[in-house]
Amino acid sequence: MIKGVMFDFSGTLFRIESAAKWLRAVVADAGLAVSEDELDACVSGLEEFGAQPGGVPPRQVPPHLEGLWRERDLTAERHRAAFTAMAREAGLPAADLAEALYERSQVSGAWQPYPDAEATLRALRERGIPVAVISNIGWDMRPVFRDHGVDDLVDAYFLSFECGVKKPDPRIFQMACDKLGVAPGDALMVGDEPIADSGAAALGCQVHLLDPLPVDRRPSALAEVLQLL
């Protein structure tokens, strides 16, 4: 019987804006005149190097950034350094846009909750099932939950840069189970990363994986979680 549920953040409860919208917002704020062709090429580069936090994973990581990239979620400093470095590899219209892009990725308006996220979290609260959010991340995304009106539906957050350990290490899942007061065998982990989120299975937790589709293409996958209880 499931007595506690753990959720991933990006690609599970929320999804960041498209890379094109992300870049265009920053270019507009900077007052730069950039051609459509240059914008399109830059978006392709950002996606190639996985430079958007919460966006598509990189198709390549330059050798000189491999170490930093592997450890990006362990501290706020490494996270910023890794993503801004990858953004610079993408051929930005202006070099200082790398920092502006990183800052944009932490703005609540850049994130959208999945259509059924609030209803699912509220249903769990009504059933008395505690909820934790576990994320490999380098910044505090609690304001995103607050600004979208769902922070009161989450009992605890376990963020890799705060915990000093990241998924799939079983320790971060154990921390969450301990906080929620449930045995791992009575906990469900819901996420979108097969390797990272399936680390919970090593403790005996059930794991349910979702497809991190854009929000307009995944209207009800989270609600299906309620059927697993």
CA–CA distance, 37 with 151 (Å, rounded to integer)? 40
Contacts for 77 with CB less than 8 Å, ≥ 6 apart: none
pLDDT tens by residue, 10-68: 999 999 999 999 999 999 999 998 899 999 999 999 999 999 999 999 999 999 999 99
Place of tokens 């209803």: 119
CA–CA distance, 227 with 229 (Å, rounded to integer)? 6
pLDDT tens by residue, 173-189: 999 999 999 999 999 99
Is residue 166 within 8 Å of 172, Cβ to Cβ?
yes
Class at the top of the CATH hierarchy for domain 4-15+112-228: alpha beta
What pLDDT, on a 0 to 100 scale, did the predictor assign at position 153? Answer: 98
H or E element at residue 218: none
In DSSP notation, 55-82 reads SPPPS---GGGHHHHHTTTS-HHHHHHH
147 vs 26, 59, 115, 142, 150, CA distance in Å?
21, 32, 16, 9, 8
Q: Is 36 helix (H, G, I), strand (E, B) or coil?
A: helix
pLDDT tens by residue, 65-93: 999 999 999 999 999 999 999 999 999 99
Residue 209 per-residue DSSP state: E
Write out the residue limits of the CATH 3.40.50.1000 domain(s) in the chain.
Answer: 4-15+112-228
Is residue 180 within 8 Å of 132, Cβ to Cβ?
yes
Does position 95 have pLDDT exceeding 90, yes or no?
Answer: no
Of 224, 217, 193, which Cα lies nearest the Cα of 73? 193
Torsion-angle region of 54 (φ positive above 0: left; ψ -120 to 50: alpha; else: beta) = left
pLDDT tens by residue, 120-142: 999 999 999 999 999 999 999 99
What pLDDT, on a 0 to 100 scale, did the predictor assign at position 77? Answer: 98
Torsion-angle region of 160 (φ positive above 0: left; ψ -120 to 50: alpha; else: beta) = alpha
